[in-house]
Amino acid sequence: MSVPQAQFGQLNPVLSVSEFTALIKDVLEETFDAVAIVGEISNAKLYPSGHWYFSLKDKDATISCVCFRNAAQYLKFELEDGLQVVAKGKISVYPPRGNYQIVVTGLEPVGIGQWQLAFEQLREKLDKEGLLDSERKRPIPATPRCVGVVTSIAGAALRDILSVFKRRNPGLRVIISPSKVQGEGSAEEIAQAIESLNEVPGVDAIIVARGGGSIEDLWSFNTEIVARAVAASGVPTISGVGHETDITICDLVADLRAPTPTAAAELVSRGHMEMASAWTNLHRRLIDRITEKLATARYRFEKADPWPELLRYADRLQHLHLKLQNLRHKLLNTSETLLAENKHRWTMAYEKLMVLGPLNVLQRGFAVLRNQDGEIITKAHKVKEGDTVEALLAKGKLKLKVIECESDWY
Amino acid sequence: MSKEKDFESTLKDLEKIVGKLDGEIKLEEALELFEEGIKLSSDCEKFLTTAEQKVELLKRQADGTATLEVFVEVAAE
């Protein structure tokens, strides 16, 4: 390229502003078509067109930069004043204004990874809006009947989640809202899948899940669109993205963070498991109490019921009756024996009496004399003349008058 | 179990009944409570032992409406 020697006083070709500017543009743009400049961002501004305008500066110099939308869309982080970056691109001269700027095709933060920076920036932004506040967190229903799952239909996360539900919470209704979980357009799909589930009536909780992967693989869950969809969900959300150590923006915005998809499903089922054991417990207590009460009642009932007593009394009566019969029998026997014995004795006594008694004597011609008082008279001087006495004969009696008394008759 | 009454509140009602049975009450009252309790308990059991997993797939149609269909598990990638 030939540059005219433009020196005053010498005969040089006179160039128009446009011609000269075109020369500058050629020189600069051909010389600096791939540069990398480190500096601090200032006056960063995002235009509605999607282009970023900013300056890069250091202690002594400033240079204007633009990052057009086609490059800006791949930036993970937001441009902030004060941020140290390495800008890659080329110089561009703008003839109408006579200025130059760097057209940036790539930006990388200095001293911090771009992913981390992006993460921190989004977190700070959402935090300022209050979307990460713990007061925003809603409780997940203890025993949800229907759970929505946002994840890839062919991923390991879905299989893990369904297997937990099958084991721990088989009655649960599960609605899968499928979505890509990595790559171009996945963030938008995840956001859409969350919104769709919000349109289905009866969904009690939404699990947003993805299996483990690199930070790039998990990036969709660190995007603002997903964060806002999670925040806007009318249904409480549980985030289960990546492995235990991965923390995503989605985790932070969700109502509950689970370390893994499996853990998310377990958290959803926990209440069900607890309720199941609470039920088992209550059921056993219910049965125990009523058994106890019935046993007590039965005891009291039996205690109050006269029938067993009556039965016992009847037994006693029966016993007494038998005893009585026994006694009677014995008594009869005894009296018969006694009677028989007495009869014998009586006969004996009678016979003896007959032999020895007065009648026998009387039969032989003797008589018994009795005074009027019925006393037997054995001595003559017991009566006097004129007394009436009675003579008992073997048969009949005589009333006699005493004519004479003599002491001796022999 | 009625739709208005979820498992949790049924369980709470059952707990109240068992709590009452713990106290000194008349047998007729206890039997009534038991009858009520055993009904709630069997409702709970039904809820817990409904063994069929219901998995549906939400699909967004061209007109923007969402439809649900039965999900058939596909082989893992």
Question: Is it the case that residue B1 has pLDDT exceeding 50?
Answer: no
Alpha carbon separation from A136 to A27, A132, A133, A147, A233 (Å, rounded): 58, 7, 5, 20, 12
Question: Is it the case that residue A309 has pLDDT exceeding 70?
Answer: no
Across A88-112, average pLDDT: 92
Question: Is it the case that residue B65 has pLDDT exceeding 60?
Answer: yes
Any CB–CB contact under 8 A between A154 and chain B?
Answer: yes
Task: Provide the sign of the torsion angle of the four alpha carbons B38, B43, B48, B52, taken in this order.
Answer: positive
CA-based nearest distance B68→chain A, Å: 8
Output B60 or B55, whichever has higher pLDDT.
B55
Q: What is the pTM of this model?
A: 0.59
**Considering chain A, what is the average pLDDT of its residues?**
87
Assign B2 a pLDDT band (cuts: 50, 70, 90): very low
Distance CA A348, CA A174 (A): 120
Pairing assessment for the beta strands A84-94 and A173-178 based on DSSP bridges: unpaired
Domain regions of chain B by residue span: 7-70
**B contact test, residue of A149, A162, A167, A176 with most B CBs within 10 A:** A176
Residue A195's pLDDT is what? Answer: 94
Provide, as residue numbers in chain B, all residues whose Cβ is less than 8 Å from the Cβ of A145.
6
Query: Among B6, B71, B74, whose Cβ lies nearest the Cβ of A143?
Result: B6
Least confident of A68-72, A86-90, A353-357, B40-44: A353-357
Least confident of A59-73, A208-222, A284-298, A330-344: A330-344
CA-based nearest distance B18→chain A, Å: 6
Q: Is the ipTM of this complex over 0.90?
A: no
What is the CB-side half-sphere exposure of residue A173 using CA atoms within 13 A?
A: 15
Question: Is it the case that residue A8 has pLDDT exceeding 60?
Answer: no
pLDDT tens per residue across span A112-157: 877 888 898 999 999 999 999 999 999 998 888 899 999 999 899 9
DSSP string, A209-233: EE----TTTTGGGGSHHHHHHHHH-
Least confident of A30-39, A91-100, A290-299: A290-299
Provide, as residue numbers in chain B, all residues whose Cβ is less than 8 Å from the Cβ of A194.
none
